[in-house]
Amino acid sequence: NIAHAELIEETLNETSSQFELKHTQRLSEALILLKQENFDVILLDLSLPDSQGLEGMTQLKEQVQTTPLIVLTALDDRNVAIQSLREGAQDYIIKGDLEAQDLIRSIDYAIERHRKEESLRHQAIKDRLRVKMLENIRQSLELKETLQTTVEEVRQFLQVDRVIIYRCGNSNSGEVMAESVELDNNRQSSEVKVSYFPFNSILPQACSIQAIDDVDYQAELNDEVYALAAQEIKAILTFPIWQRKFLQQKNNNSPLSKNPEKFLWGMLIAHNRNLARKWQEWEINLLKDLTEQVTIAIEQSELYTDLQNAYQKLQQQANLDSLTELGNLRQFEETLRYEWQRLMRDGKPLSLLMCDIDYFKAYNDTYGHPTGNQCLKQVAKILKQTVKRPGDTVARYGGEEFAIILPDTKAQGALFIAQTIQSKLEKLAISHINSKINKFVTLSIGISTMIPRQGSKENIIVEAADQALYQAKKQGRNRIVS
C-alpha cells in the first residue's frame, strides 16, 4: 500500500542516495511502467488489490525475465515468501520487520547477483557466437557463406529488423555482401531491398562505432542522422570492418583510411525501422569482437583466393609452352586421354593432326635461333587462328612439331582444317632460302580419325597420325596424308 511505499522510499532516502524509487498501487500499472522504463530491481508486495500471492510474481517474471525481484510479505506469509525464492525471487522481506540496513543489503545483493548472472549470461552468448563464427570460418572458405551466417546470427542475437555487411568501394560506392531481414506476414522476401539505405550518409562516420538509440531524437543534429530518419530508421548500430595493410595493395578501394596499418573494408550495420532501442554496452562489445572475427574471415578468404589464383597460374604455366603460348606435351597428353575416354562413352569420332615444319633445322642454321623462334610463333599463331572451337586443343608436341586434337570431328572436317592451315601459311610466305622444296616455310601434316573403342588406348591414334606424318614427309613434304 501507499504507506509501505512511502516507508520504503523514506528509508532509502535516509540511508542512501544511490536509488531512485518509483511505485504503483496495482500490478497492472506496474506492468505498463515496466514496458516504458528499465529498472535495476523490483520490489513486489504479494498483497496488491489486483494480485495476491505468487500470481503477481509470475506475471512480472513473464514480462521482465532477467530483472531481479524482491518480494515483500506479511508475517504470516513466510511460507509463501520461501516458495517465491523457489520460483525465482532473489530475496524476501517481512514488512513488519522492515529495517533500513536489511533493505539496503537485500537490494544491493539482488543487484550485484543480477549483474554477475548477466555477466555470465553475456559471456556464454559471446562464447557461443565466437565458437560458431570460428567453426564457420574453419568449415567454409567461401566468404559469402561466412558473412551470411554472421548477419543471421547477429540479427537473431540483437532481435533487430535488419543486419547488413556492406563493402566500401571507390567514390563512396560499395556493395551489400550479406543481409538478414526480419520479415512479417505482409512482406515477401522479394519485396525487401536495401536500396533505401543511405549508405553514403553514414560513410563519413564509418571509421568508428556508431550507436544511435533514437534516430528521431538526434535527427536535427546533423545531415547523416537526418538521412536515416527520412528512411524511417529508428535505431542503428554500425561497426567498421578493417583490413590489415598487407592486403591493401590489392584491395585499396576504401574511401576512408586514417590508420597506416589498416584500411576500411566495410561496415556491419544493424538497425530497427519501427522501434527505438537502448544499445547495451555489452552488446556493443560483443559485436566489436565479432567484427574482428569477420576481419579474420575476410583476410582468410582473400588469402585463399590468392592461393587458388597462384595455383591456377602455376597449373597454366605447367601446361603451357612458354615460347608459343600453346599447350605443351603434358597438356596434350592429358587432354587426349580425357577426350578419348569421353568419346568412347559417346561413340563419336576423334581426329588428330600431327604437323611438322619442313626443313626447320636448315631454317635455324640459315637464320639463327632467334629467327627460328619467331617462325615457330608465327606458325603457332596460324594454328590458333584456324582452330577456333572451345573444345579443340592446339599443342606444341616438341621442337618444330605441333599436334591438334579435334573432338567430335570426322575425317572430312579434319582435312578441311589441315588445308586451311597450309593455305594460311602459304599466304604468310615466311622466307626459307635453304628449303629443298619451296622458297617459303611449308608444313607437312598427318591426320588420323578414329571412334574410340572399349578397351583401347589413346596412343593408337597418336601412332596412326604420326605414321601419316611420316608418309607426308616421305612423299616429298608440304602435303597432307590421312
Structure-block grid coordinates of residue 211: 550507436
- In 3D space, the residue among 422, 428, 421, 358 whose CA is nearest the CA of residue 392 turns out to be 421
CA gyration radius, the chain: 40
Measured CA distances, 328 to 318, 396, 408, 461 (Å): 8, 5, 22, 18
| Residue 244 identity | R
| Residue 405 identity | I
Spatial separation of the C-alpha atoms in residues 304 and 312, rounded to whole Å: 12
Residues marked active site are found at 400
- In 3D space, the residue among 98, 83, 86 whose CA is nearest the CA of residue 43 turns out to be 98
User: Partners of 27 in the beta sheet?
Assistant: none
Helix axes 329-346, 459-474, angle to 10 degrees: 120
What number of CA atoms fall less than 13 Å from residue 172's CA on the CB side? Answer: 9
Give Cα 438 distance to the centre of its chain. 62
**Length, in residues, of the chain:** 482
Spatial separation of the C-alpha atoms in residues 15 and 65, rounded to whole Å: 29
Residues 6+ apart with CB under 8 A from 43: 8, 70, 71, 72, 93, 107
Spatial separation of the C-alpha atoms in residues 171 and 129, rounded to whole Å: 34
